Structure 1
């Protein structure tokens, strides 16, 4: 009984930290929550399915804070949905075919790569640019969103952060508006799609879900509130540290 209570408290704490950081910087809940579930003992497929379901609550919690403060661009929102959701579906469907050790190692490598790349770009996602794209550039932007959707559905680590930074760099959104798009569209539509596909596999650890959802709602709201007040430089550094630590942990576990 005591060990189960401690486990539920640990799950809630992981969810608050992971989703708080994600809502603060516009992505990256998978950098903490998914590896955390794996390190607590779940196989990769079960951890991914459980994480996806719980992460829908991040979109709900963050949307409640962002809805009044940020407006979504209808064109970009439609693009993120139409290009990203099919990618999520494909990624979530294909990941079940990966052996657990290979999937865990791939997640570790992706997480490490994200951390290393971010450390080499001090101003990554910090600037606001005005961009006018031609048809070819719009197609490139759409294709990248589709690829990120596949990553979101399969390996998931940092995919929301990729979306935020891509919206800033390629589509010229301000950082707060990019965060709002990511949290609401990716948090609800993309993660909801991934949870639906993976849920049919029967891999969801249902007794872990309530604590994760409660933590996601709390963390999502608090992180969104802080992102509107403080900015993201400190959280960027935290993400880099977490990405490196979690990536190394997962690589060690896959050996």
Structure 2
């Protein structure tokens, strides 16, 4: 019972920040599962299932607001889900520590880039949504999906930045699309694939799923209400912390 209570509150906190910044729940949630005794593969598979609840809670809040484009979400699904499935298979043969260090370095670069670009993502400048620009954007989403399938920590942050930088969305709309496409559908695909490849700690999921749903809804609510400038600041802090955490390890 004590473990369930801990998992519930950890899931709420982790997913509030994740839903607000567009990623990063794995920074808190995945290490806690490992700390409580799960092997990495089981912890990752269990975390993947729980993050679907984050996407569900955030999706409900964003649909109520009605500011996301279903055409754009479908593009993200078509480009990203094949990468997620391939990444989940590929992680079996990759050294986890090396992958975490590389991912951490890339995540740190996201924080630095956003900091040195003070106007980035504050005003929408829709671009690259047709023709070659859209094709390159889809290749980028496929690569991010591959990373999402292989390593769960912080990859939603890459999707958020890609939507801001390449497609010209502001942070508010980018986070909304990330939470729906990545948080719900990409993570569901990854959870299904990981469930076939690794054991899931089913008795831990009720607390994780409930906490993730509540945290996802709360985080999405405040992201919508507070706007892009606040999301940008939180995004920079979360990417900085996630990057450092991945580099230094557990």
TM-score w.r.t. the length of structure 1 is: 0.84
- CA distance, structure 2, for counterparts of residue 120 and residue 216 of structure 1: 32
Counterpart in the other structure of 1:14: 10
> Are 2:154 and 1:143 equivalent residues in the alignment?
no
| Counterpart position of 1:171 | 167
Q: CA RMSD in A?
A: 2.6
Partner Cα distance (2:185, 2:194) in 1: 14
Map 1:76-225 → 2, pairs under 5 A: 76-131=72-127, 135-225=131-221
Distance apart, 1:228 and its partner CA:
1.3
**Offset from partner CA, 1:86-144 (integer Å, 9 cap, x none):** 00001111112234444454454454444444444444432311325552212111100
Higher mean C-alpha deviation, range 239-248 or range 64-73: 239-248
231 and 38 in structure 1: CA distance in 2 versus 1, 3 angstrom threshold: farther
What secondary structure does 1:96 align onto? helix
| Deviation for aligned residue 1:37 | 3.0
The 5-angstrom pairing of residues 24-63 of structure 1 reads 24-63=20-59
TM-score, normalised with respect to structure 2? 0.86
After superposition, the Cα gap between the structure-2 partners of 1:245 and 1:129, relative to the gap in structure 1 and judged at 3 Å, is closer
CA contact (8 A) 2:128 2:166 kept: no
Instruction: Pick which of 221-230 and 199-208 moved more.
Output: 199-208
CA distance in structure 2 between the aligned counterparts of 1:224 and 1:98, rounded to whole angstroms: 33
Bigger mean CA offset, 75-84 vs 110-119: 110-119
Aligned to 2:222: 226
Q: Structure 2: which 5+ runs fail to align?
A: none
**Unpaired segments ≥5 residues, structure 1:** none
Q: Which moved more, 1:107-116 or 1:145-154?
A: 107-116
- Of the structure 1 ranges 128-137 and 87-96, higher mean CA displacement relative to structure 2 is found in 128-137
Deviates more, 1:179-188 or 1:56-65: 179-188
